[in-house]
């Protein structure tokens, strides 16, 4: 990592711009906050004064030649990448740009089915064809694992014409596949490796962390700097490596990313990159120790299981991200989503998500020991007050899908609406997912089974926030006319 990491070119250019007291006759129309006093009172004059448009001194995200270009180079150096793109449409746009950069219509991409919806959306936009590797499932926890090497090898053997392999690193629950072996295997067969590292920013800066995509030699990675790195929501990096063309990837990004890049988001990426490059080891040592402390304390309560590296099996759980505080709740007779709701409604604690059997608390740069003490004591009290018989609880999160049609074909086909409870046997034309985490229960082109219908009904009954269907009540589903 170079000594230049102390610089933050976008941030420095914005400070200089603000000091010049420029009279604005460009967009945005609030004119440094003067046109919207309520918003200025709420967000602050300093914030509104740098919510500005692209101009020569501040460069242009679509075609950077000065301060954004320099900031990209510093980010690439910090992450050990060939190039880093600043993304202001979220990691969703980074994931889509990765897939669309290497896969044309009709070309295959090997991926686990427990991908974020953004990856399947990219298939709908591009017309690429998924070859799903079903992740293993931990029977006790009911959660999907990583991709086993033998399953990847089999997918490659059966689809030697596939253009790329897509990998989650880590999953929402903290589970990592053997990324280095998958990358080497893919490269031997002339396939790109694209990595969703939405939850893996800290892998690049902490010590004793799972291997990052760039260190593994993967070709591209989408990194949510805002999730664990401290930047503003919706700001991310797209990293590229190896022989990929920077110009081609930028053109692909510009197909969907805004031409009005927010300087609030851009400067937050710049400042956060500098912060992690200079102090990341200390920051994430603290994060790890806080998470490990909370995990140990939760396991002492009994009834809960805060899982960690003991799950490692050298293959489908090749490594585990110890900063993820994932907790199995079914033994106390409560679905994760029920614990999630009780924590928020009765204790004023907002965790990342609750699903059928687990909760996840994200521990990152902004957490403090006192807040974790409060979480642990609240979970202890919830167990004391709310434990009940676990009989009749749904016991798994992940259902292997039956894929019968490419996502793009299904999404754009003639469709009609049916009640979800009467949809068995039809081909799904849209998504159904709990958000977060945004991993589809059903995606376009998949056969609807009774098990899936039962799962959706159970998730609704337990209070999961379901999304994806045209019907906002999630009672009807669009199916393909056959």
In this structure, what token pair is assigned to residue 435?
Answer: 């958000």
Give the mean pLDDT per block of 10 residues along the chain (482 residues).
84 94 90 94 95 94 97 98 97 97 97 92 95 89 93 98 97 96 98 97 97 98 96 98 96 95 97 97 97 98 97 97 96 96 98 94 92 98 95 79 93 97 97 86 95 92 92 96 88
In this structure, what token pair is assigned to residue 30?
Answer: 């609030």
Q: What is the pLDDT of residue 3?
A: 57
* 28, 113: one domain: yes
* 261, 300: one domain: no
* 120, 260: one domain: yes
Q: Decide if 395 is inside a domain.
A: no
pTM of the model as a whole: 0.95
Q: What is the pLDDT of residue 136?
A: 84
CA atoms within 13 A on the CB side of 331: 11
Q: Decide if 391 is inside a domain.
A: no
Which of 146, 271, 277 has the alpha carbon at shortest distance from 206?
A: 277
* 25, 62: one domain: yes
Q: What angle do CA 308, 310, 314 make, to 5 degrees?
A: 110
Q: What is the pLDDT of residue 390?
A: 87
Q: What is the pLDDT of residue 321?
A: 97
Q: Decide if 397 is inside a domain.
A: no
* 260, 300: one domain: no
> In what side-by-side order are the strands of the sheet with 353-354?
305-306, 324-328, 358-362, 353-354
* 200, 172: one domain: yes
Which domain CATH number covers 473?
Answer: 3.90.105.10
Q: 215, 245, 277 — which closes off a domain?
A: 277
Q: What is the pLDDT of residue 209?
A: 97
Q: Decide if 306 is inside a domain.
A: yes
Which domain CATH number covers 290?
Answer: 3.90.1150.10
* 118, 28: one domain: yes
* 249, 337: one domain: no
Q: Decide if 313 is inside a domain.
A: yes
Q: 250, 277, 304 — which closes off a domain?
A: 277
Q: Residue 63 belongs to what domain range?
A: 3-277
* 305, 373: one domain: yes
* 151, 264: one domain: yes
Q: Decide if 394 is inside a domain.
A: no
Structural domain total, the chain: 3
Q: What is the pLDDT of residue 391?
A: 83
Q: Decide if 393 is inside a domain.
A: no
Q: What is the pLDDT of residue 2?
A: 58
* 13, 162: one domain: yes
Which domain CATH number covers 78?
Answer: 3.40.640.10
Residue at token pair 């990491």: 5
- The alpha carbon of residue 153 and the mean position of all alpha carbons in its chain are separated, in whole angstroms, by 25
Q: What is the pLDDT of residue 392?
A: 82
* 266, 315: one domain: no
Q: 255, 277, 299 — which closes off a domain?
A: 277
Q: Decide if 392 is inside a domain.
A: no
């Amino acid at each position: 990592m170079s000594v230049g990491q102390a610089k933050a070119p976008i941030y420095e250019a914005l400070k200089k711009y603000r000091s010049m007291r420029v009279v604005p006759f460009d967009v945005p129309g609030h004119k440094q906050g003067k046109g919207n006093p309520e918003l200025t009172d709420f967000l602050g004059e300093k914030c509104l004064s740098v919510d500005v448009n692209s101009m020569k001194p501040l460069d242009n995200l679509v075609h950077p030649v000065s301060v954004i270009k320099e900031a990209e180079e510093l980010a690439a150096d910090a992450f050990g990448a060939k190039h880093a793109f600043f993304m202001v449409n979220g990691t969703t746009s980074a994931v889509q740009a990765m897939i669309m950069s290497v896969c044309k219509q009709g070309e295959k991409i090997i991926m686990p089915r427990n991908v974020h919806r953004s990856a399947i959306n990219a298939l709908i936009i591009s017309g690429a064809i998924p070859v799903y590797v079903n992740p293993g499932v931990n029977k006790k926890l009911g959660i999907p694992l990583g991709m086993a090497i033998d399953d990847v090898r089999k997918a490659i053997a059966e689809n030697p014409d596939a253009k790329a392999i897509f990998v989650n690193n880590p999953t929402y629950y903290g589970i990592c596949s053997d990324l280095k072996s998958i990358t080497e295997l893919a490269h031997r067969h002339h396939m790109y490796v694209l990595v969703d590292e939405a939850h893996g920013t800290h892998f690049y800066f902490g010590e004793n962390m799972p291997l990052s995509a760039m260190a593994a030699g993967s070709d591209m990675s989408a990194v949510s700097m805002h999730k664990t790195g401290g930047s503003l929501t919706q700001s991310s990096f797209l990293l590229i490596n190896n022989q990929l063309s920077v110009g081609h990837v930028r053109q692909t990004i510009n197909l969907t990313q805004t031409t009005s890049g927010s300087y609030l988001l851009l400067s937050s990426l710049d400042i956060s990159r500098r912060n992690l490059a200079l102090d990341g080891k200390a920051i994430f040592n603290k994060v790890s120790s806080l998470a490990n402390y909370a995990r140990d304390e939760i396991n002492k309560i009994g009834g809960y299981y805060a899982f960690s590296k003991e799950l490692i099996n050298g293959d489908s759980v090749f490594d585990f991200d110890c900063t993820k505080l994932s907790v199995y709740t079914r033994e106390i007779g409560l679905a994760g989503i029920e614990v999630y709701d009780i924590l928020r409604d009765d204790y004023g604690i907002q965790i990342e998500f609750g699903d059928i059997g687990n909760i996840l608390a994200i521990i990152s740069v902004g957490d403090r020991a006192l807040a974790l003490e409060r979480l642990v004591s609240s979970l202890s009290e919830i167990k004391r007050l709310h434990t009940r018989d676990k009989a009749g609880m749904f016991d798994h999160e992940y259902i292997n899908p039956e894929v019968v049609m490419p996502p793009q074909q299904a999404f754009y086909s003639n469709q009609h609406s049916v009640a979800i409870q009467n949809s068995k046997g039809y081909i799904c034309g849209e998504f159904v997912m709990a958000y977060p985490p945004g991993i589809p229960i059903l995606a376009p082109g998949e056969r609807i089974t009774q098990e899936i219908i039962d799962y959706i009904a159970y998730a609704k009954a337990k209070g999961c926030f379901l999304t994806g269907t045209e019907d906002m009540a999630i009672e009807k589903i669009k199916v393909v006319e056959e």
